[in-house]
């Protein structure tokens, strides 16, 4: 099995299929309690994802210097609202022991993204302002926690690939959707 | 007297993609193999990439299991087939913002990146108009947006507003707004170094996926067919195809779709040890062939 040896690069896979990932931990068994947790936590995850993406968008506008007054954009308020709703859902969601790892990362994501939003709100987000870098660093930390949460349980995607050019839909429903039937 | 060598480098593939994703309206035609590639332009003073693929570290398992993407290889392996390392890439032109084209920006730490400003600002707009419009953001990775911020803060991002001639010597960028994506662009390489070039190569990004988009599989009476996926207008995609062919002097073979498996039938190529294909589009004077 060929593996990437250089830091920062993903693992190479072999020709034909997913052999390169067989050594990864198997997905946890999804019993009724886990399924209930996943269904409750998904909207929270999605809310944090939206908030992070919206703030990232604002930071891009500020960084390329094309907008002098990015804080006038409605996006920051929308991101704050999305985060607040997601945080409320997460607080009301009981995590069974098997979901503790996921819940831990999602809680950290909430904290980091909240911090990034707070910095953005208090700073000017102008291209040469330190608040831009601080918000960016906090948001990157939050996004890393989102990635970790996404890998901890099935059903939590940080990117929606449904309409991507790769979307052959092979086995997608089985892996990524939790049915209540 | 070719100025640059050009190679299309496969870095991964999906074995079974619905044909309808590649050719608009081609329903019930089964599946095809779609290579994922980036393009290397090597000159005496720089080495540039058109797009950078994605980094398997973030989404590899999901992409492999959910979509059958396989044989992903990192940039050391892929560029090594042409005797280069990621550190030697000096410039990157991003044709558009989908994950499989710009997800690997942090793999090229010394490169300066060029993207249309509209590709970035329209993301933000799409995020501002509500969840019911989230289809507009599918295949866009928020992590990529954060990496773009990184590039900008490091002074390694150039956001363009429209066409830019000689972004590198004899290399021009042209926008195709509101087509495959809001701020798609394509690359024109004048490989004889002349303004009125007779040796033009065009890197089409995803404005076309495969040759069929150029001729509709009708040799006697060819017609344009848009790709199966796009957030802009099919009409704009057709106009962009027409513009690219005209810039290529009417020679459709000079308009290169990087997702085209059939490039091997038109240009010399070889399969590397990794199982991935290296296709040689052009060879600069004095440059060593990488496919023989």
Q: A162 in a domain, yes or no? A: yes
- Asked if pLDDT for residue A178 goes beyond 80, the answer is no
CB-CB under 8 Å, A56 with B142 = yes
* pLDDT bracket for residue A128 (50, 70, 90): confident
CB-nearest partner of A9 from B107, B131, B142: B107
Residue A166 has pLDDT above 80, yes or no: no
Query: Given CA atoms B32, B33, B36, B42 in this order, what sign does their dihedral have?
Result: negative
pLDDT at position A22 is 37
Q: How far apart are CA A165 and CA B259, in angstroms?
A: 10
What whole-number distance in Å separates Cα of residue B95 and Cα of residue B116?
A: 8
Q: Answer yes or no: do B138 and A8 touch at CB < 8 A.
A: no
Q: What confidence tier does A8 reach under pLDDT thresholds 50, 70, 90?
A: low
Cβ contacts of A17 on chain B, cutoff 8 Å: 64, 68, 70
User: Is residue A173 very low, low, confident or very high in pLDDT (cuts 50, 70, 90)?
Assistant: very low
Asked if residue A68 is part of any domain, the answer here is yes
CB B165 within 8 A of CB B114: no
CATH number at residue A97: 1.20.120.660
> The domain containing residue A137 runs over which residues?
29-180
B235 part of contact set with chain A, CB < 8 Å: no
Q: Check CB contact of B127 with chain A, cutoff 8 Å.
A: yes
Tokens of B290: 């990488």
pLDDT at residue B102 in the model: 93
Distances (CA, A) of B8 to B39, B59, B79, B104, B280: 4, 23, 10, 16, 7
Question: Nearest C-alpha of chain A: how many angstroms from B66?
Answer: 5
Task: Give the model's pLDDT for residue A171.
Answer: 46
Given this model, what pLDDT does residue A66 score?
57
| A18 contacts in chain B (CB < 8 Å) | 61, 64-65, 70
| Cβ under 8 Å to B: A residues 31-90 | 49-50, 52-54, 56-61, 63-64, 66, 73-75, 78
Distance in Å from the first CA to the final CA of chain B: 20
- Considering only residues B278 and A31, tell me which one the structure prediction assigns the higher pLDDT: B278
Number of domains comprising chain A: 1
The pLDDT of A36-40, averaged and rounded, is 94
Among candidates B31, B107, B149 on the partner chain, residue whose Cβ is nearest the Cβ of A63:
B149
Whole-number pLDDT of residue A23: 35
* Band of pLDDT at residue A31, cut at 50, 70 and 90: confident
In a domain, A2, yes or no: no
Q: Do the Cβ atoms of B72 and A12 come within 8 Å? A: yes
More confident residue, A84 or B139: A84
**Among B residues 137-176, those touching chain A with beta carbons less than 8 Å apart:** 137-143, 145-146, 148-150, 152-153, 157, 159
All residues of chain B having their beta carbon less than 8 Å from the beta carbon of residue A52 are 142
C-alpha to C-alpha distance for B204 and B184, rounded to whole angstroms: 9
Using CB atoms and an 8 Å cut-off, which of residues 106-125 of chain B contact chain A? Answer: 106-107, 117, 120-121, 123-124
The verdict on a CB contact (< 8 Å) between B123 and A147 is no
What number of CA atoms fall less than 13 Å from residue B130's CA on the CB side?
Answer: 1
pLDDT per position in chain B (292 positions), as tens? 899 999 999 999 998 899 999 999 999 999 999 999 999 999 999 999 999 998 888 776 667 666 778 899 999 999 999 999 999 999 999 999 998 999 999 999 999 999 999 999 998 888 888 889 988 887 788 889 999 999 999 999 999 999 999 999 999 999 999 999 999 999 999 999 999 999 999 999 999 999 999 999 998 999 999 999 999 999 999 999 999 999 999 999 999 999 999 999 999 999 999 999 999 999 999 999 999 8
pLDDT, position B70: 85
Q: Compare CB distances from A56 to B68, B145, B259 and report the shortest one's residue.
A: B145
Residue A133: closest CA among A142, A123, A143: A123
pLDDT at B258: 96
Statement: residue A25 has pLDDT above 50: no
Confidence of residue A156 (pLDDT cuts 50, 70, 90): confident
pLDDT at A167: 55
Strand order in the sheet with B255-256: B164-168, B171-177, B183-190, B200-203, B255-256
Shortest alpha-carbon distance between residue A169 and chain B (Å): 6
Interface contact B17, partner A, CB < 8 A: yes
Identify which has the larger pLDDT, A87 or A179: A87
Q: Has residue A165 been placed in a domain?
A: yes
Please give, rounded to a whole number of angstroms, the shortest distance from the CA of A34 to a CA of chain B. Answer: 20
Map out the domains of chain B with their CATH numbers.
5-282 (3.60.15.10)
Q: What pLDDT is stored for residue B58 in this prediction?
A: 73
Q: Return mean pLDDT, chain A.
A: 78
Give domain status of residue A18, yes or no.
Answer: no
CA quadruple B47, B52, B58, B62: dihedral sign: negative
Distance CA B113, CA B93 (A): 6
Report if residue A77 sits inside a domain. Answer: yes
- Minimal Cβ distance to B64: which of A21, A59, A66: A21
Instruction: Name the residue with tokens 């349980």.
Output: A153
- Flag if A49 and B142 touch (Cβ within 8 Å): yes
What does the pLDDT read at residue B209? Answer: 96
CA distance B134 to chain A (A): 9
Quote the pLDDT of residue B61.
65
| B246 SS3 class | helix
User: Who's near B142: CB < 8 A, 6+ residues apart?
Assistant: A49, A52, A53, A56, A143, A158, A159
Residues recorded for chain B: 292
A16 part of a folded domain: no
Can you give the pLDDT at residue A72? Answer: 64
Contacts of A149 in chain B (CB under 8 A): none
Torsion of CA B211, B213, B217, B221, to 10 degrees: -120
Q: Is A25 on the interface with B (CB under 8 A)?
A: no
The pair phi, psi for residue A166, each rounded to 5°, is -95, 0
User: pTM to 2 decimals?
Assistant: 0.88
B20-36 as b/e, with b when 16 or more CB fall inside 10 Å?
Answer: bbbbbebeeeebbebbb
**Per-residue confidence (pLDDT) for residue A73, from 0 to 100:** 66
């Amino acid at each position: 099995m060929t593996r990437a040896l250089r830091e920062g690069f993903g693992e190479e896979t072999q020709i034909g299929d997913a052999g390169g990932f067989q050594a990864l931990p198997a997905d946890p068994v999804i019993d009724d309690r886990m399924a209930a947790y996943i269904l409750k936590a998904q909207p929270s995850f999605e809310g944090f994802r939206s908030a992070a993406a919206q703030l990232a968008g604002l930071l891009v506008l500020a960084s390329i210097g094309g907008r002098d007054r990015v804080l006038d954009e409605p996006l920051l308020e929308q991101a704050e609202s999305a985060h607040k709703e997601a945080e409320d859902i997460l607080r009301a969601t009981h995590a069974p022991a098997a979901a503790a790892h996921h819940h831990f990362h999602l809680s950290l994501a909430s904290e980091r993204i909240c911090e990034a939003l707070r910095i953005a709100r208090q700073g000017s987000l102008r291209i040469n302002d330190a608040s831009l870098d601080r918000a960016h660093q906090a948001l990157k930390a939050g996004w890393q926690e989102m990635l970790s949460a996404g890998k901890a349980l099935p059903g939590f995607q940080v990117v929606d690939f449904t309409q991507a050019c790769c979307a052959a839909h092979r086995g997608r429903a089985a892996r990524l959707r939790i049915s209540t039937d | 007297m070719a100025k640059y060598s050009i190679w299309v480098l496969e870095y991964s593939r999906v074995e079974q993609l619905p044909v309808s994703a590649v050719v608009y309206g081609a329903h019930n035609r089964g599946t095809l193999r779609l290579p994922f590639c980036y393009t290397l332009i090597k000159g005496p003073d720089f080495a540039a990439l058109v797009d950078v693929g994605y980094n398997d570290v973030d989404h590899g398992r999901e992409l492999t299991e959910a979509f059958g993407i396989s044989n992903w290889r990192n940039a050391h392996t892929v560029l090594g087939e042409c005797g280069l390392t990621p550190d030697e890439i000096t410039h990157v032109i991003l044709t558009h913002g989908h994950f499989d084209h710009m997800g690997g920006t942090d793999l090229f730490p010394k490169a300066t990146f060029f993207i249309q400003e509209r590709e970035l600002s329209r993301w933000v707009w799409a995020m501002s108009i509500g969840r019911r419009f989230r289809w507009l953001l599918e295949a866009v990775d928020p992590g990529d947006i954060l990496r773009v911020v990184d590039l900008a803060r490091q002074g390694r991002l150039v956001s363009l507003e429209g066409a830019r001639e000689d972004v590198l010597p004899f290399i021009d960028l042209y926008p195709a707004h509101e087509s495959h994506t809001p701020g798609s662009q394509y690359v024109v390489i004048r490989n004889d170094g002349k303004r009125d070039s007779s040796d033009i190569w065009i890197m089409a990004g995803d404005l076309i996926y495969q040759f069929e988009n150029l001729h509709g599989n009708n040799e006697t009476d060819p017609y344009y067919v848009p790709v199966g996926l796009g957030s802009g207008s099919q009409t704009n995609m057709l106009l962009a195809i027409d513009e690219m062919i005209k810039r290529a002097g009417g020679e459709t073979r000079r308009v290169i779709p990087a997702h085209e498996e059939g490039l091997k039938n038109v240009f010399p190529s070889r399969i590397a040890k990794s199982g991935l294909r290296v296709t040689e589009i052009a060879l600069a004077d004095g440059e060593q062939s990488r496919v023989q």
